[in-house]
Amino acid sequence: MRESKLGALTSLLMGVSLLLTGCTPAKRPAAPVSTALPDSSSPRVYVTNEVSGNMSVIDTGTQRVLATVPLGKRPRGIHASPDGKTLYVALSGTPIAGPDVDESTLPPADKSADGIGVFDVAQNKLVRTIPGGSDPENFDVSKDGKFIYVSNEDVSAVSIIDIASGQVVKTLKMGAQPEGVKVSPEGKQVFVTSEEDGTIAVLDPEAQKIVATFKVGHRPRSIAFMPNGKLAYINAENDGGIVLVDAIRHKMLKAISLGEPGVIKPMAVLLSPDASRLYVSTGRGQQLFTVDTATNRVLGAVSVGKRPWGIALSPDGSTLYTANGPSNDVSVVSLATNTVIKKIQAGSGPWGVVVLAR
């Protein structure tokens, strides 16, 4: 009789225990983070997330995020090495400011966080960080893959980085608030925009000195050279348009309006593979414009999201990706139909975009 009661009591206690376990699952240890990605033949999109300090890796076949990889503080500019095996990312410890931010309330800059992150594509991870001068925002890589030219926004300078040694070999003063950097197709010139001055500084990479400065539109941020290197398009954010410049004689040829200044705010400019089309993101204008480079006329526009900034093309030129900062997503634009076919959630504050073939 005692054994029967004891068995019943034991069964009751076991039942209560199982019931409680079902209601309150035990905490499991966090799974280790793996940098390995599923094998895929589709190109991948790499997006720098300025606020969350990481990179979203997107598979273009499934249009899904494969991984989110830590990078460092304020990752913005992103560019690939000529062989596509390495991605370089501008990192900055300068606090994020904005039109609605009182800069006097911001903490001091963490200069130890400034640098150029070196990301190994095969390993899918950041392997080292090299100096990039003060507050690096954007940059470009030399045609031979040996040097990086970096805009140092807070000190009005452009720095030249030797990648092999990981050292800043020279820093040159230029106009205020430098941002966009672009190496010409033949590699003999580097254009750097000065947002505040509305000018382009022309850097001779061989002589390692600035050889010219010329006026363009108001608040330039981005440059796209035509393949022959003789012409270039540059955004003019505060003018609501873009400008066409003579890249050899260093002078502005034509201003091209996209919309009302202050409403349409052109940011990034990017040419199609055949250079017949120029694509322009417009920040708070929320649109992506397409311009015919033969006539310099606007062919169309599509609303892509909140404050589209960085843009990149698929290897075949059929699809364009926009980084939409405030909405933390990436728009996928079919250029054949000029429509957004999907939006993909990224990290916080997506800024720059690169697409690499597999």
DSSP-assigned states of every residue in 314-325: -TTSSEEEEEET
Q: Taking the CB of residue 136, how many other CB atoms lie within 10 A of it?
A: 29
Amino acid at 238: N
The C-alpha atoms of residue 235 and residue 243 are separated, in whole angstroms, by: 6
Q: pLDDT above 70 covers what percent of the chain?
A: 88
Q: How confident is the model over 336-354, as a mean pLDDT? A: 98
Place of tokens 């009591």: 9
Buried b (16+ CB within 10 A) or exposed e, 274-293: eeebbbbbbbbbbbbbbbeb
Mapping DSSP to helix (H, G, I), strand (E, B) and coil, where does residue 140 land? strand
Of residues 158, 154, 195, the one with CA closest to residue 173:
158
| Virtual torsion, Cα 276, 225, 84, 167, nearest 10 deg | -170
pLDDT-based confidence at 37, cuts 50/70/90? confident
Q: Is the pLDDT of residue 350 over 50?
A: yes
Q: Is the pLDDT of residue 24 over 90?
A: no
Which pLDDT score, from 0 to 100, does residue 18 have?
37
Place of tokens 């992506």: 288
The C-alpha atoms of residue 199 and residue 259 are separated, in whole angstroms, by: 22
Q: pLDDT above 90 covers what percent of the chain?
A: 85
Paired tokens of 10: 């034991």
Which pLDDT score, from 0 to 100, does residue 39 have?
72
| Cβ contacts of 163 within 8 Å, gap of 6 or more | 130, 145, 146, 147, 148
Of residues 88, 111, 107, the one with CA closest to residue 96:
107
What is residue 41's DSSP assignment?
S
| Cβ contacts of 315 within 8 Å, gap of 6 or more | 43, 355, 357
Place of tokens 């990039």: 132
For 4-21, how does the pLDDT look when each residue is reduced to its tens digit (9 = 90+)?
443 444 444 444 343 334
| Virtual torsion, Cα 331, 335, 337, 341, nearest 10 deg | -20
The C-alpha atoms of residue 77 and residue 91 are separated, in whole angstroms, by: 8
pLDDT-based confidence at 333, cuts 50/70/90? very high
Q: How confident is the model over 260-287, as a mean pLDDT? A: 97
Q: How confident is the model over 52-74, as a mean pLDDT? A: 97
Which pLDDT score, from 0 to 100, does residue 99 have?
59
Q: Is the pLDDT of residue 189 over 70?
A: yes
Q: Is the pLDDT of residue 103 over 50?
A: yes
For 107-128, how does the pLDDT look when each residue is reduced to its tens digit (9 = 90+)?
899 999 999 999 999 999 999 9
What is residue 95's DSSP assignment?
P
The C-alpha atoms of residue 148 and residue 77 are separated, in whole angstroms, by: 12
The C-alpha atoms of residue 158 and residue 249 are separated, in whole angstroms, by: 22
Average pLDDT score over the chain: 91
pLDDT-based confidence at 280, cuts 50/70/90? very high
| Virtual torsion, Cα 299, 327, 40, 77, nearest 10 deg | 80
Paired tokens of 346: 């990224």
The C-alpha atoms of residue 154 and residue 213 are separated, in whole angstroms, by: 19
Strand locations in 19-71 (E): 44-49, 54-59, 64-70
The C-alpha atoms of residue 263 and residue 211 are separated, in whole angstroms, by: 35
- Sign of the CA dihedral running 127, 133, 136, 142: negative
Q: How confident is the model over 246-257, as a mean pLDDT? A: 98
Q: How confident is the model over 132-147, as a mean pLDDT? A: 97
Q: How confident is the model over 293-321, as a mean pLDDT? A: 97
